Amino acid sequence: MSQGTGRANKRDAVLRESARLFAERGVEATTMRVIADACGMQAASLYHHFASKDELVAAILVRSDAHITGLYDAIRDASLEPVDRLEAMIRATLDNLGHYRDAARIYYRDRAHVAASPLLTQVRDHAVAHDELWDRTIDAAITAGRISPRFAATGLRRLLQELMWSTARLRGDAVSADDIVHVLLRGVLAPEPGCGEPARRPES
Amino acid sequence: MSQGTGRANKRDAVLRESARLFAERGVEATTMRVIADACGMQAASLYHHFASKDELVAAILVRSDAHITGLYDAIRDASLEPVDRLEAMIRATLDNLGHYRDAARIYYRDRAHVAASPLLTQVRDHAVAHDELWDRTIDAAITAGRISPRFAATGLRRLLQELMWSTARLRGDAVSADDIVHVLLRGVLAPEPGCGEPARRPES
DNA sequence: CTAGCACCCTAACAATCGTTAGGCTACTGT
DNA sequence: ACAGTAGCCTAACGATTGTTAGGGTGCTAG
């Protein structure tokens, strides 16, 4: 009903182009006129789809937040060993980064803007809940002796998150998600009693 | 002679405060008036020390570039095994990130600005030379069988750089440089023939 | 056929941006 | 004692920012 398939869905085009520009140049440095140019329209016409620049940014971030929140909820409900849950969370994050790369780059690049926008309270609340799941999972893995006790849960969580988010800037550049999981898990897990590979390996 | 110790060196204060603000909010989002406020002066007074906003940004980045270029030059001249050289480069980068954290955050955050500024040609040239040293070192480590052949040199270089740069945002938060080196090297190095720890361990 | 809405336009608004002009004050070298 | 200048100020410039006002066009439901 609302948006037909035959009609060109310009709102989505605006979301896509603006997300790309925000991610590349930053929110503040990207003007409404540049976004409009990229969409083949006029700056004032953007306000037919979005009430303000802030609302445009929020729409981009809410999309990505809904996706990752769904993934995390499924992981939270599943019964998994701590290390398996940790790997599932890493893969979920990397999956989200793959589908909503620009949104993730905006989120972790313009943190001051995200923290200040009144339209992002729900996104911020979700982020807190996600961090708690991370901390609980890492704590459980440390207690189970599967992660070196040299790390503290909060510190390791932030380290892993930063490492994963940073990969959002590596487009297909010869670095696969499996490579990243490999580096992170192998660097963090305690050595298996049976020597050899530190844990599981990708199913290559 | 030029700048006495008794006299308050306001130019350095401007450099420090502006670097902090640029790193936190982004170059474009940080106005000259905000910088002046943080320094207890007026926006126009900044132009007594720096000819333009671009020159201020450049002065911040050139400082950091001079430091890391000195470290890399020493590593280039030393005769080191590939893996030792790789660890030395990782430690040099983390040392630079420790001393010039704000500059590094500006450099890797506002890449579009860095690429466009006409005052940063030397910094960009140095970056190219540093990347070549990274690639040669990683290639040598792969040839020597010390790094898993699943990685390509350029891809692994970018991965390591992104991972290191991302840690510039982790202030003293319970994550030490040794922790980061541990995660990175252990995740990347091929397993030692003698099993056990994948390679060297920090001197804890 | 017609009313209405979706969609986009041009023109312009006030605010803020980086930057310049010109003047005041306090210290310095001779 | 006096000229010079480093360092900061107030005031204002033109350009650009996000945003609004108001009008035009073309599809669609009744």
What CATH code is carried by the domain that includes residue A158? 1.10.357.10
Q: pLDDT tens for residues A53-86?
A: 999 999 999 999 999 999 999 999 999 999 999 9
Q: How many domains in chain B?
A: 1
B38 touches strand D (CB under 7 A): no
C1' (C12) to CA (B57) span, angstroms: 35
pTM of the entire predicted model: 0.86
A11 located within any domain = no
pLDDT for the residue A85: 96
pLDDT for the residue B65: 98
Distance (Å, whole) CA A106 – CA A108: 6
Q: pLDDT tens for residues A79-106?
A: 999 999 999 999 999 999 989 999 999 9
pLDDT for the residue B172: 61
B99 located within any domain = yes
Distance (Å, whole) CA A97 – CA A176: 12
| Per-run averaged pLDDT (10 residues), chain B, 204 residues | 50 95 96 97 96 97 97 97 93 93 94 95 98 96 88 85 78 68 76 44 38
B47 located within any domain = no
Q: What's the domain range around B147?
A: 58-188
Amino acid at A1: M
The yes-or-no verdict on residue A141 having pLDDT over 50 is: yes
A130 located within any domain = yes
A142 located within any domain = yes
A2 located within any domain = no
Going by pLDDT thresholds of 50, 70 and 90, the confidence category of residue A173 is low
Residues of B engaging A, defined by a Cβ cutoff of 8 Å: 24-29, 109-110, 112-113, 150-152, 154-156, 158-159, 162-163, 165-167, 169-170, 173-175, 179-180, 182-188, 191, 195-198, 204
pLDDT for the residue A174: 61
Percent of all residues in chain A with a pLDDT value above 90, rounded to a whole number: 65
Q: What angle do CA A173, A176, A181 make, to 5 degrees?
A: 135
DSSP secondary structure letters along A159-186: HHHHHHHHGGG--SSS--HHHHHHHHHH
The yes-or-no verdict on residue A7 having pLDDT over 60 is: no
Amino acid at A121: T
B33 located within any domain = no
Q: List strand D contacts in A 14-33 (CB < 7 A).
A: 30-33
User: How far does chain A reach from its first CA to its final CA, in angstroms?
Assistant: 45
B30 touches strand C (CB under 7 A): yes
Q: Which nucleotides of D are covered by protein (CB under 7 A)?
A: 6-12, 16-22
Strand nucleotide closest to residue A47 (CA to C1'): D19
Distance (Å, whole) CA A26 – CA B77: 39
